[in-house]
Amino acid sequence: MEKTAASNVLNWLKASMIRCFILFIAVSFIIATIMWSIVPNAPTVSTSVVENALPEITVYKSASCSCCRAWITHLEQEGFKVTAYDREDMDSIKATFGVKPGLASCHTALVSGYVIEGHVPAVDIIKLLQDKPKIIGLTAPGMPKYSPGMQASEQKPRGYDVLTFDKTDNTTVFKHY
Ligand SMILES: [Cu+2]
């Protein structure tokens, strides 16, 4: 009689433990499901891709400038994310960013603290961002005829210089085309 009672208790304990275990698994599963739906979407892009992504470029231009838009398309094709603003005060924007009249072109852009003036090829901006020289930025003064945005996108740039410029009005040739 006692033996039966003891084994009944033992069986009951076993059954309880199994129930507990099943309950534990079920509750864990529910909590995990809830957490998964609550946690904001985790970035799906790998870290290396994020690190290699090009920074955003802000472009100021006049609304009617079609070559400015073509240059923006060139930048986007080369992997830049571009935010463009149509402005009527381009002269004062250039003055604010240290672009002297002799170095000026149509659009003025900002990227990672550098000023990019005019039809500078994307490849030069990428090199600038890698080299990080102590300059204000790069310029392609005027409107070079054979530059990205001024000619068909499959044409290679030629016949002009991309210049560096700094606070002391020094310019150097960054890239000769
Ligand atoms: Cu232009």
More confident residue, 60 or 26: 60
> Average model confidence (pLDDT) for the chain?
86
Residue 159 has pLDDT above 70, yes or no: yes
Digit-coded pLDDT (tens) for 98-150: 999 999 999 999 999 999 999 999 999 999 999 999 999 999 999 999 999 99
Which residues fall inside 5 Å of ion ligand 1, going by CB?
67, 106
List Cβ neighbours of 43 (8 Å cut-off, separation of 6 or more). 50
DSSP secondary-structure letter at 130?
H
pLDDT at residue 145, rounded to an integer: 96
* 81-86 and 56-61 strand pairing: parallel
Going from N- to C-terminal start, the domains of the chain cover 1-42, 47-176
Digit-coded pLDDT (tens) for 24-50: 767 676 656 556 665 555 444 444 444
Q: How far is ligand 1, taken at its centre, from the CA of residue 88, in Å?
A: 15
Angle made by CA atoms 161, 85, 116, in degrees to the nearest 5? 20
pLDDT at residue 5, rounded to an integer: 67
Q: Which CATH class is domain 47-176?
A: alpha beta
Q: How many CA atoms lie within 13 A of 149 on its CB side?
A: 26
**Range 55-70 average pLDDT:** 97
> What percent of the chain has a predicted confidence (pLDDT) above 70?
76
Q: How far is ligand 1, taken at its centre, from the CA of residue 10, in Å?
A: 88
Q: How far is ligand 1, taken at its centre, from the CA of residue 129, in Å?
A: 22
